[in-house]
Amino acid sequence: MSSGRLASFKQLTSDLCRNRKTPYGQGDCFTNSLNLMRMFRSLIIPISMLASFGLSSAALAEQSESVAEQSQTVLITQAAEDEPTEKTEDDEKNWRTYIDLYGFLPLETTTEIRVMGNTNSQTQNLEDVLTPITGAFTGRVGVEYGRYGFQAHVNHGSSWISETVGSWSGDNALRDQVDNDLPGIVKDRRVTAKGKIDLDTTFNQTVVDLAARFRAGAIAKPRMEAGDVSFVGLIGARIVDATMDVDVEFENDVEYKSTSNRPGVLIPKEAKAKFERDWDESWSNTWVSPLIGMQTTYAFSDQWQAFLYLDAAGFGVSGRRDLSGTAQAGISYTLGNSTQLSLGYKYWGLDFAGHGSDDHYDVTQHGVNLGLRLFFD
C-alpha cells in the first residue's frame, strides 16, 4: 500500500475513533484499526497470489493443450514421413523378377557378308526382312535383390531364302554362225540349251547377353513415384553364334536337232542331254565378347515412364573386327501393378571378322521396338 493511501487510511481511522467510545480509549482504537489494516493487507496478498496462480494455471493449461496438439501433429507428420522410408527399406530387402518380351520391326536392314571370297551386300526394308523369317524370339529375364542382380537377354532369328540367281535359254543355229563353205550336214544342226542356277540360303543367328547389374536410385518397377529416377549399370559377356548354309544347284538341258534330209546321212535326228550338279557350303562361328551397358528410367507419373538403354560389346577382343552395340529409347505405360507396355525406337549393329580370315559379317538394323514387361516382387 502506498504512503498516501496509508495516511488517508490513518486519518479515516482517527475520525472514527473520535466518535467512538471504547474501553481502551482512542489510542487503542487507532492501534486496533492499524492491526485490522495489516490483517486486511495480509489477506490481500494471498488472494492476489491465488488470482495470479489461477490465471497462470489457466494459461499453463492452454499452453499445455497447445503443446500437446503440436506434439501430436509432429508425431503424425513423423509417422507419415517415416512410413515410406520403412516401406522403401523393406522393398530393398525383397527379391524382384523382371520378364521382358520384345517384338522388333526393323524398318531398314543393311548387310554385307563375305564367305570364301564371295561378297554379298544388300539393303532390305521391313517386308524384305519379315518375308523369309522362319523363327524369331527376343526376351530378357532379370532378378534383383537389394541393389544387385543378374540378367540374361536372348535374341534369336532364323531365315530361309530360295532364289534363282541365274538362268539362260538359247537356240544356237549353227547354219547361221558358220561359213557357208562348211558342209551342209553341219549347217543343218541346231543345239538348244536351257538351264538355271538355284540358290538356297539358311541363316541362323543367336545373341545371348549375360550380365551382372547394379542399381542406383529408385527401384525400377511398373509403378513409380512421379520424379523418381532409376539407373542400372551392366557388365558381363555377349555370346554370338552365327551360321549360314548355302546350297547351289546347277541344271542345264541341252537338245540337239538336225534338219538334214540328205540321203545317206546316218546321224540321229534328235538327241537330248541333261546336266545337273549341286553343292553346298557352310560358314559358322561362335565368339564371346566383353559387354558393358546401362539403362535409366524416369517416371513422369505413377503410370508413364521414359527409358534409355545403351550397350556395347567386343572392342576387338575376339576378332580383327569385333564390335556390336544397341541403342534404344522409348516410353512405357503401366497396366495394373505388375504389367507394362513399351514403345521405343531401336538401333542394333554387329561387325565381325575373325583373326586370319577374309570372311566377315556386318549388319545394322533400326526400327520400332514393342515390349511387354511382367514384374514380380
| Cross-strand bridge partners of residue 252 | 195, 275
Q: Which residue has the higher pLDDT, 248 or 312?
A: 312
Q: Which amino acid is at 352?
A: F
Report the alpha-carbon distance of residue 16 to residue 29 in Å, rounded.
Answer: 9
Mean pLDDT of 321-345: 96
Q: What is the pLDDT of residue 54?
A: 45
CATH classification code of 94-160+203-242+285-376: 2.40.128.100
DSSP string, 100-160: EEEEEEEEEEEEEEEETTEEEEEEEEHHHHHTTEEEEEEEEEEEEETTEEEEEEEEEEEEE
- In the predicted model, is pLDDT for residue 28 greater than 90? no
Q: Where are the domains of the chain?
A: 3-67, 94-160+203-242+285-376
For residues 251-272, average pLDDT: 64
Between residues 258 and 246, which one has the greater pLDDT? 246
Banded pLDDT at 89 (limits 50, 70, 90): low
Cell of 368: 520400332
- CB atoms under 10 Å from CB of 108, counted, come to 14
What is the distance in angstroms between the CA of the first residue and the CA of the last residue of the chain?
A: 82
Cα(8)–Cα(333) distance, integer angstroms: 93
The C-alpha atoms of residue 189 and residue 174 are separated, in whole angstroms, by 6
Q: What is the mean pLDDT of the chain?
A: 78
pLDDT score at 93:
79
Q: What is the pLDDT of residue 172?
A: 64
pLDDT of residue 44: 46
Which residue's C-alpha cell is 563375305? 114
Could you read off the pLDDT of 364-374 as tens digits, one per residue?
999 999 999 99
Of 75-79, 158-162, 246-250, give the lowest mean pLDDT range. 75-79
- The CA angle 296-110-128, to the nearest 5 degrees, is 105
Q: Per residue in 309-347, is it b (16+ CB within 10 Å) or e — as a string?
A: bbbbbbeeebbeebbbbbebebebebeeeeebebebebb
The whole-angstrom separation of Cα 252 and Cα 274 is 6
pLDDT band at 361 (very low <50, low <70, confident <90, very high): confident
DSSP 8-state symbol, 71: H
Report d(CA 79, CA 70) in Å as an integer: 14
Task: Say whether pLDDT at 70 is over 80.
Answer: no
pTM higher than 0.85 for the full model?
no
Which of 55-69, 95-109, 110-124, 340-354 is predicted with the least confidence, judged by mean pLDDT?
55-69
- pLDDT of 50 > 50? The answer is no
pLDDT in tens, 187-225: 566 777 788 888 888 999 999 999 999 999 999 999 999
Residue 257 scores a pLDDT above 90: no
Q: What DSSP designation does 356 have? A: T
- Mean pLDDT lowest for which of 54-58, 185-189, 279-283, 365-369? 54-58
Residue 338, helix vs strand vs coil = coil
pLDDT of residue 194: 81
The SS3 assignment for 301 reads coil
Q: What percent of the chain has pLDDT over 70?
A: 67
